[in-house]
Structure 1
Amino acid sequence: MEISIFTVDAFTNLPFKGNPAAVCLIENELQDELYQSIAAEMNLSETAFITRRNSMDFSSGARFGLRWFTPKSEVPLCGHATLASAAVLFYIKVRNTPPYMINNVNPVVVFETLSGELNVRQHGESLIMDFPLNKPKPQDQHEVKDLLKAIVGDLTIQDVCYSETTKKLMVCLADTCDRSKLTSLKPEPDALLRIESTGKIKGVIVTMKGAPTAHPGYDFYSRYFAPWFGIPEDPVTGSAHTVLAGYWSEKLGKKKMLAYQCSSRGGELELELRDDGRLDISGRAQIILQGTLKI
């Protein structure tokens, strides 16, 4: 079996920045064990698998199946690997059967996923993803005090919220906190796993207010840690911003925001809360590797 495979850096316009995802084009469904083995082999935070629908090819089809796997397990939602998948369909020259099929011809592609239908459309040099909005609810800090201590130490915390839908805990640092404090955090993955083993929390977002008057004017910053999925730190996380967008929109009184996830690779996301209760996440992507996986 031969599978077309790509590596895409998402939420960046530069190679080796943003969040890398592997993307596989699947002609026919595989066994779950094989999906997981491929993701473990790629050893990136997520590997995405695009499958055809209604016997349409990858160039002319407008609807596809999409699944995401970390090196350890399948996940219900992944933003950067969705962006990467759309980039492959819109930008890449692929060979299904001769002759070459060049770029997907549709203005919008629809992915059928565990989180429902996700639409992605082109807009200039960016791709815009139609995602659910997962606004978090306030969380009693005392109930997670040991976990908070392991993540942010003695830094002053402004809010702690929890998204039941995504199982993500969001920790907002005080406005007086310097960005350098956020970027210097180094939580120990094994410690987080020891402290939280109930399955209630699958990822922790640490965020703080940005500097919207500066250039380029980020409304907020964040980092994301998910050792429960085998990801000590995810470089840029679309699903985390489905949680962050609702929180910061209310705090800042804004529906359009520019966010920066300040991992070592870094990545930029444009966010817009829509009137229908969903979220547009915009970003760029760079395809850096194209090849064939032989099994």
Structure 2
Amino acid sequence: MELSIFTVDAFTDQPFKGNPAAVCLLPNALRDELYQKIAAEMNLSETAFIMRLNPTDDFTSGSRFGLRWFTPTNEVPLCGHATLASAAVLFYKKKNINPTLVFETLSGELNVRLCGQSIVMDFPLHKPVVLDPAEVKDLIKATVGDLSIQDVCYCTVTKKLLVRLSDSCDRSALTSLKPDAAQQLKTESSGKVKGVIVTVKGAPTAQPGYDFFSRYFAPWNGIPEDPVTGSAHTVLAGYWSEKLGKQKMLAYQCSSRGGELELMIRGDGRVDIAGRAVTVFQGTLTL
């Protein structure tokens, strides 16, 4: 069996920036174990599998597809950058003729559309709730060391812990973080937390005017640090929208690769997450 596969850098307009995802086009569903084996072979934070739902459709004319995401170690219920990468393959490489694509996923239906040079994803908004820092003090210590903390929140749906650094900290404090992944796993083994978001207030008056910065760590999914994370921004958008009193925000995830996300809070419990993408590899996977 031969399958078309691509590597796409998401949330960037430059090769080798943003977050790389593998995208595999499937004419038919695979045996369950093959998804995980392919994701482990690609060894990126996520591999996306796009499946035809209607046998008469193809990747150019179809408007509705199945979509699954796998890390090198497990399947995940939601992945933003691999969704963006999947849409980029269909829109840019397969020249899909539809203005909007619908992906059926573990997180429900996700609509994705082109808007100028960006791809806009319609995602659920996940507002976190305040958490007593004492409940996760060892995990916080393993992640941010002795830096001053302003807020700690938790999202039960995504199992993401959000740690906001004090406003006395700037972007450089965030970029200099060196979390201890082994210690993170040791201090949190209950399954309650699957990822830690660390964030700090931005400088919207400076150009290009980022409202907030973040980094994301998920060793529980085999990802010590994810370069740019759409799913984390479903939580960050809910948090910062309330803190800043803004519906439209510009965010930057300041990993070593870095990536930019445009966020628009909607009135229906959803958030539009927009970004760009660049395909850097395409080939054939032989099974």
- Give me the TM-score of the superposition, normalised by structure 1: 0.96
Residues 73-120 of structure 1 show CA distances to partners (whole Å, capped at 9, x for unaligned) of 000000000000000000004xxxxxxxxx100000000000000000
Q: Which secondary structure state, in structure 1, belongs to the residue aligned with residue 54 of structure 2?
A: coil
C-alpha distance in 2 between matches for 1:277 and 1:33? 35
1:75 maps to amino acid:
V
Match of 1:233 in 2: 225
Instruction: Compute the displacement of 1:32 (Å).
Output: 1.6
Aligned positions of 1:64-103 closer than 5 A: 64-93=65-94, 103=95
Separation in 1, partners of 2:148, 2:253 = 20
Residue 30 of structure 2 is aligned to residue 30 of structure 1 = yes
Task: Return the match for 1:217 from 196, 209, 224.
Answer: 209
Question: Which amino acid is 2:64 matched to?
Answer: R
Residues 256-287 of structure 1, C-alpha deviation per residue, up to 9 Å, x if partnerless?
00000000000000000001110000000001
In the other structure, the counterpart of 1:97 is none
Length, aligned pairs only: 286
Query: Structure 1 CA distance, aligned partners of 2:99 and 2:266?
Result: 20
* Structure 1 residue ranges, 4+ long, deviating more than 2 angstroms after superposition: none
Query: Are 1:184 and 2:185 an aligned pair?
Result: no
Residues 144-166 of structure 1, C-alpha deviations (whole Å, 9 max, x = no match): 00111111111110000000000
Take 2:251 and 2:31, find their aligned partners in 1: how far apart are those partners? 37
State the secondary structure of the residue aligned to 2:251.
Answer: strand
> Partners in 2 of 1:211 and 1:117 — Cα distance?
34
Aligned identity (percent) is 76
Deviation at 1:179, TM superposition (A): 1.3
Distance in 1, Cα, partners of 2:173 & 2:128: 23
One-letter code aligned to 2:16:
F
CA RMSD of aligned residues (A): 0.5
Q: Distance in 2 between matches of 1:2 and 1:165?
A: 36
Structure 2 CA distance for aligned equivalents of residues 275 and 167 of structure 1 = 24
User: Is structure 2 residue 105 aligned with structure 1 residue 113?
Assistant: yes
What displacement does 1:178 show? 2.0
Taking structure 2 as the reference length, what is the TM-score of the superposition? 0.99
Q: In the aligned structure 1, how far is the partner of 2:7 from the partner of 2:54?
A: 26
What stretches of structure 2 of length at least 5 have no aligned partner?
none
Distance 2:117 2:235 in 1: 25
Matched, 1:59 2:67: no
Whichever residue aligns with residue 258 of structure 1, its letter is L
| Partner residue in 2 for 1:163 | 155
In structure 1, how many angstroms separate the alpha carbons of the residues matched to 2:229 and 2:40?
19
Distance 1:218 1:69 in 2: 30
Q: Distance in 2 between matches of 1:32 and 1:228?
A: 21
